[in-house]
């Protein structure tokens, strides 16, 4: 028998996204979409999607999708902040812009992968 996703898990995933958006967004001249909305939106989408599929969504699938989204957030924004702290060269770092440009595709790919792999785990049954 499959375990249905509980409301506390969905609220926790949404709060993780909101907190992550506040942590990443600095309010400066940075893009509001990529630094204010993008870090937290995937987590809220996971909660809404899992809530809409409450009969088919499992705890393992939600945890796997959350882990995939968190991995993308930590890696992409971690590299960005590390580069901002240690960059001593002149001009813009075009590679970082090219890293963040397809960020929505990274999120969709890793959320889908986490959902598929997490749904097959022992937490799902």
Cβ–Cβ under 8 Å, residues 64 and 110: no
What would the pLDDT profile of 26-44 be if each residue is shown by its tens digit? 656 667 777 778 888 898 8
Q: What is the pLDDT of residue 123?
A: 52
Report yes or no on 50 lying in a domain: yes
Q: Residue 50 and residue 78: Cα distance in Å, rounded?
A: 27
Q: What phi, psi does 62 have (nearest 5°)?
A: -65, -40
Report yes or no on 48 lying in a domain: yes
Report yes or no on 1 lying in a domain: no
Percent of the chain with pLDDT over 90: 16
Q: Which domain holds residue 117?
A: 7-124
Domain count, the chain: 1
Beta-carbon count within 10 A of 94 CB: 8
Report the candidate in 74, 75, 79, 73 with the shortest Cα–Cα distance to residue 95. Answer: 79
Q: Residue 97 and residue 30: Cα distance in Å, rounded?
A: 12
Report yes or no on 55 lying in a domain: yes
Q: What is the pLDDT of residue 27?
A: 58
- What's this model's pTM, rounded to 2 decimal places? 0.80
Report yes or no on 76 lying in a domain: yes
Cβ–Cβ under 8 Å, residues 118 and 67: yes
Q: What is the pLDDT of residue 35?
A: 79
Report yes or no on 2 lying in a domain: no
Report the candidate in 49, 13, 19, 14 with the shortest Cα–Cα distance to residue 36. Answer: 19
Report yes or no on 39 lying in a domain: yes
Q: What phi, psi does 64 have (nearest 5°)?
A: -65, -45
């Amino acid at each position: 028998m499959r375990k249905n996703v509980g409301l506390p898990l969905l609220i926790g995933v949404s709060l993780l996204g909101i907190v992550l958006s506040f942590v990443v967004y600095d309010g400066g001249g940075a893009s509001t979409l990529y630094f204010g909305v993008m870090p937290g939106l995937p987590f809220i989408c996971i909660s809404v999607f899992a809530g809409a599929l409450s009969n088919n969504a499992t705890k393992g699938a939600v945890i796997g999708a959350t882990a995939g989204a968190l991995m993308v957030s930590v890696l992409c924004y971690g590299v960005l902040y590390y580069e901002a702290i240690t960059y001593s060269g002149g001009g813009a770092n075009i590679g970082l812009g090219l890293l963040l440009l397809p960020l929505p595709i990274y999120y969709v790919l890793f959320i889908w992968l986490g959902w598929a792999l997490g749904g097959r785990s022992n937490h799902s049954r």
